[in-house]
Structure 1
Amino acid sequence: MPLGFLLVTAEPGAQVALEEFQDWYNNEHVPLRLNHLPSFLTGARFSAADSLTPSWLAVYDIDDTATFQHESYTRLRANRSPREGNLVQRLELLDRRTYEFVADSGESALTSSYKPTNPTNFLITHWINIPGNDAAFRAWTDEAFRALKGVEGWVRTRTYKCIDNLKTGSSVPKDPQAQIVPKYLAVHEVLSLAVAELPAFVAASNPGSTAKIEERRTWNLYRAYPSVAQGNV
């Protein structure tokens, strides 16, 4: 099975204080995964740098997409603590998307990506729709990688295909259309968010005329977490 990737965006909203949200995420939600499941290779959280909502992003590298159906993981949502169950019901938004790995431009000596030692401090995320099949997206990815290698301040890009998603929260309409998300994702690691505005980056991350960027977000690192998979918990 291919590598997996879990991306969750969240907005606490009026019913959840930021302090409560952070305490839950840092001391319950993340440790239940990273401290106990070797399948969770890395985990990091980011805050919005663009003043848009959702305000919070969590990302996790997963060893295998089969993890998303494994009992060791699914039981965490099925058997939430009373505290977590209550808090999740009060959130304005919890948008959970699971992905299958497509391609990686390659690790960089400049950062460790999502590991606690020398983590990437800034992300640019692109949600993408592109006509055609997965081969068309892979071709788009290959072209983008070639162009991005010449952009100063760019570190690494990985691309993914969405395999499942669920939005919950007080802000989510009951209309099934609200659950539709773009099929593909590109996550760019950069040394500065000024890279997002460079003409070379804009051109490189939008190669060709067929891909449609549905949403672009910029993020600041909040925290990269240790994990049992890394042997540093």
Structure 2
Amino acid sequence: MNSTKGNAVLFSEMTPPAGREDEFNDWYDGHHSPSHVQGVPGFISAMRYQAPTGPHFLAIYELTGPEALEHEEYKKRKLTPDNPTYQMLKSVSGFTRYIAKERFALGRNDEPSETIDAAVIFCALFTVPKGRRVEFEDWFDEEHAPMLQENAGWFFSRRLEIVEQDPEPRTHLIIHYLRDLQALDAPERAAASNTEWRNKLALENWFDPTVATYLRRKKRFLKSD
């Protein structure tokens, strides 16, 4: 494991109240994210993102594993937050919180720390029935991710198993790290989305992911900051 990427993630989305975006970002950048990364064992790093349109934000914390959230320091912060955190969290909307373990990763080089700071990420949340998970995972690992990375703008892909979810009962989190928004229009993506295997899966009712694109905001929060 390198110094910025972990074996699991805490994936959390929020929308601040209208007119309070600057206050929200000051709290998140100046207090919430750095405090968690520097103060909670098992938190390795964090990156914040913003939706291309509208004030909707995402934070991805890299963890040594899901057990990082069982540490007493994290439990204390979650159950008894300080006043700035309490006041801000009770005012946000669009909240999601998913804890997920990485089960597969494929990159264009051997050092994912060079690509997980990509300018754009494309995320998909699936709810896959137990009896269909093996085929879904084989499709993603063996066909879909390799086809996407035939385009130089698709840097790195991760498939994660969700072990704790709020609010939706999702089972799989997919995160792709991209050079720019134009990568979403790449012919390789169109080809990967129109194979016999993918089209067969798409006929099933559960194959209806929630997808979102986010733009990186600033620098990554690290233990050493």
TM-score range, shorter chain: 0.7 to 0.9
Shift of 1:26: 0.8
Going from structure 1 to structure 2, the CA distance change for 1:157 and 1:110 (only over 3 Å counts) comes to closer
Structure 1 residue 46, shift from structure 2 partner: 0.7
TM-score by length of 1: 0.80
Determine the structure 2 residue equivalent to 1:24: 27
Cα separation, 2, equivalents of 1:202 and 1:61 = 30
Shift of 1:6: 0.8
Query: What is the 5 A alignment of 1:1-233?
Result: 3-14=7-18, 17-49=20-52, 51=53, 55-106=56-107, 108=109, 112-114=114-116, 119-131=117-129, 132-142=131-141, 143-166=143-166, 179-204=167-192, 208=198, 209-210=200-201, 212-228=207-223, 232-233=224-225
CA deviation after TM superposition for structure 1 residue 111, in Å = 6.4
CA distance in 1, matches of 2:186, 2:108: 22
Greater mean alpha carbon deviation, residues 61-70 or residues 31-40: 31-40
Contact kept, 8 Å, 1:9 with 1:94, in 2: the verdict is yes
Displacement of 1:96 in angstroms is: 1.1
Higher helix share: 2
TM-score, length-scaled by structure 2: 0.83
CA distance in structure 2 between the partners assigned to 1:74 and 1:107 by the alignment? 37
> What is the number of residues matched between the two proteins?
210
Q: Unaligned stretches of 5+ in structure 2?
A: 1-5
Kept in 1: contact 2:115–2:155 (CA 8 A): no
Runs ≥4 residues deviating over 3 A: 106-111
How far does residue 23 in structure 1 lie from its aligned partner after superposition? 1.1
- Cα distance 1:88–1:162, how it changes in 2: closer, same or farther (>3 A)? same
Percentage of identical aligned residues: 20
Following superposition, the deviation at residue 210 of structure 1 comes to: 1.4
- Secondary structure of 2:217's aligned partner: strand
Gaps of 5+ in 1: 167-178
SS in 2 for 1:165: strand
1:121 and 1:191 in contact (8 A); partners too: yes
Q: 1:40, 1:227 within 8 Å by CA — same for their partners in 2?
A: no
RMSD, aligned α-carbons: 2.4
